[in-house]
Amino acid sequence: MSVLLQISDPHFGATLPRVVEALAALSAAQKPDVLVLSGDITQRARPWQFTAAKRFLDRLGIAQTLVTPGNHDIPLMDFFTRAFQPYARHRRVFGDDLEPMLDIPGLLVMCVNTTRRWRHIDGQVSRAQIERVSARLRAAAPDQLRVVVTHQPVDVPHRRDEHDLLHGHARAARAWTDAGADVFMGGHIHLPYVRPLTMRFPDLQRRSWCVQAGTATSWRVRPDAPNSVNLMRYGLPGRALRCTVERWDFVASGGRFELAEVWELDLQRDASL
């Protein structure tokens, strides 16, 4: 099986060096084929923070790497840059594509830029983005795991986090699930969880999953959620496409990331998808 490493909200500029080193060690041990960084790369979108993040990703040496911005990756107090060149610093380091896509045998990953220069924290998805992603999902191969990446979540488990839901999340989740999406990856709220989207949208006609990552390397953790990353293992060991998500938490006493929880995702395929 192939392995995808999901890192979210590392917040370079507010990282814990010990955790950064532990994440590098985890990557070296697990040897992922694909890396997805689902936003909040930096703490305050400063040039040196983007450079530090790029240096770390280069150090991991993962051949297929996709990076999409989060709300922290647009300058907050530099009002001119925020208004007229909100992604200039991101582009200077990671390139012009804010919505990278990976289309390889067994895997389709589509990143959607949900940040907006006029929004400080919240994210938003447009009708054009929903339609574009839906069209590409419909063209995916039956044996591809289909992943859509947004920074802000399309589902949350607690009422207290409802305000952090992606604006347009219901329309997007329904459309993308109908078009064939299997997994919705995100971050933003520093809370890791895996949930079937039918928990929020019980009328969905297909199974799809919300896979959220915690903050990978920053000190900005929740009291009940340590630094964490996700490893997704996927492939075709028999005739059925299988996908397993593992949450790896940083354990301070051991100074390393350790396996904390495993989910076997029940995927759905039929003749039309």
How far the first Cα of the chain sits from its last, in Å, is 22
pTM: 0.95
pLDDT in tens, 137-157: 999 998 999 999 999 999 999
Residue corresponding to tokens 């930096």: 42
Domain boundaries, the chain: 2-265
CB 141 within 8 A of CB 178: no
DSSP per-residue letters across 141-169:
-TTSEEEEE-SS-S--SSGGGGGGSPBTH
pLDDT digits (tens, 9 = 90+) for 16-25: 999 999 999 9
User: Which pair of tokens denotes residue 80?
Assistant: 């001119």
CATH number of 2-265: 3.60.21.10
pLDDT mean over 131-138: 98
Handedness of CA 147, 149, 155, 157 (dihedral sign): positive
In this predicted structure, the answer to whether residue 80 has a pLDDT above a threshold of 80 is no
